[in-house]
Amino acid sequence: MKGSKVFPAVIPTEKPMDLELSNAMRRMFDIWNPYEDRQNDFYSSFKYSEITGIGKEEGVSRRDPSKVIKVNGTYYVWYTRRQTEHPPVGPANCTDDLPAYDWDHADVYYATSKDGFHWEEQGAAVTRAAKGEYGDRSVTTPDILLFNGKYYLYYQTYTGAFKQDKGDNCNVSMAWSHSPVGPWHRLDKPVIELGDVDEWDSCAIHDPYLLVYKDKIWMYYKGEPLNPNNQKIVRAQGVAIADHPEGPFVKSSLNPVLNSGHETGLYPFGEGIAAIISRDGPEKNTIQYASDGLNFEVKSHLSIPPLAPGPFCPDAFADDGDGQGISWGLCHTFTAGDCNYIMRFDCDLKRQTQRPQFKQTYNRFQEETFLQPMMKLDDETKNLSIKNAATHDRETVIKRDIP
């Protein structure tokens, strides 16, 4: 309107009270900040690197790395490793020799590094149990806890053959050691119970992720319900809290505390906890923050976040109310075949560290990104679109008789 005040070319550092603002510009000041992502502690782009030792290898699948720890100058990581004669065939066709999924017939291995880029696979940490015993099918998706001078590995445990009507049924168990290299002493029983049949985590508890927070051990996890009609929460995450590594872990009454995310990936930040949320759910591809570890809010939107992130997080067990954030970690990626492999990600999510190259928001992806097999329109759908256009696509409407 002529004579009214116009929004300035340079965004004010504080919300202007003498301007009429749209909802979008109110959000700029009330929820985000006038400096956009450049000064958002919870925003980063991610850059990826291939690594040696536990990277791409023909016939071997490595996935779901734990958080990375550093002990006496050496980095350690634990992960799922599968090396089977046959590729996964699905739950309807799996046998004692044929894996159902990429994480079936798997064991927990570990690797070490001096620089975070060049790794050496050291061997198995926890393997499948003998036939007929707890954990005889697969042990996968580990995470590490350091507590009272001991090391604790938590991992998904599969017992008995996969059944199509039971979903990805598993629970979480634990092994402990006096050293990161073992030997590991197995608990061989669940440390957290599945939910009741009609609850959100009745089928599986996936992706255990351990932090020490508020003088307790907090296990974040992804739940999956048992619902053959597929009318369920696609992905959600909860937390269970214990005084001791062996449990009992008591689930929060607020569960699920996150409504999205295919894998867990969290880190202490300031007085609270931050979470990298990727792939699934209405709030996918975000970083969220909870000052109390429970009530998360979206703080940024991400482009191509890491899958199954295992960050290097040296204060994961410090519980000092001054979490410093993260700048790198490991994750996994898919191949065109039946195997995954581990790679490295770098970012700028660490307090008091400036990596301006990671604050760039103008990410122009090249044609290979848009035309990769998963994103390229297949010929069948293309032909159907052409066929339907004749009956579904209306003529462009022109408004007539404007006075």
What does the pLDDT average to over 369-394? Answer: 90
Spatial distance between the Cα atoms of 328 and 348, rounded to a whole number of angstroms: 8
Q: What is the DSSP letter of 229?
A: T
Segment 7-17, tens digit of pLDDT: 998 889 999 99
39: phi then psi, degrees, rounded to nearest 5: -120, 30
User: Does the N-terminal peptide bond of residue 183 adopt cis geometry, omega within 30 degrees of 0?
Assistant: yes
Tell me the CA distances in angstroms from 22 to 28, 161, 169, one per residue in order: 10, 57, 48
Decide if pLDDT at 164 tops 80: no
| Cross-strand pairs, 113 | 75, 119
3-state secondary structure of 149: coil
With a cut of 90, say whether residue 172 has pLDDT above it.
yes
Please spell the DSSP secondary structure of 183-221, one letter per residue. --EE--S-SBPPPPTTSTTSSEEEEEEEEEETTEEEEEE
Query: What distance in Å separates the CA atoms of residue 376 and residue 51, rounded to the nearest whole number?
Result: 28
| pLDDT at 393 exceeding the cut of 60 | yes
Topology at the third CATH level for domain 47-355 = Tachylectin-2; Chain A (2.115.10)
Span(s) in the chain for CATH 2.115.10.20: 47-355
pLDDT above 90 for 217: yes
- pLDDT surpassing 60 at residue 253: yes
For residue 231, pLDDT beyond 70: no
pLDDT band at 197 (very low <50, low <70, confident <90, very high): confident
* pLDDT number for residue 167: 78
pLDDT of residue 354: 84
First to last CA, the chain: 22
* Partner residues linked to 328 by β-bridges: 346
Give the whole-angstrom CA distance, residue 190 versus residue 170.
10
Question: Average pLDDT of 188-192?
Answer: 96
pLDDT tens digits for range 277-319: 998 899 999 999 999 999 999 999 999 999 999 999 999 999 9
Look at residue 353 in the predicted model and tell me its pLDDT.
84
Q: 41-95 pLDDT, tens per residue? A: 999 999 999 999 999 999 999 999 999 999 999 999 999 999 999 999 988 899 9
Amino acid in the structure at residue 292: D
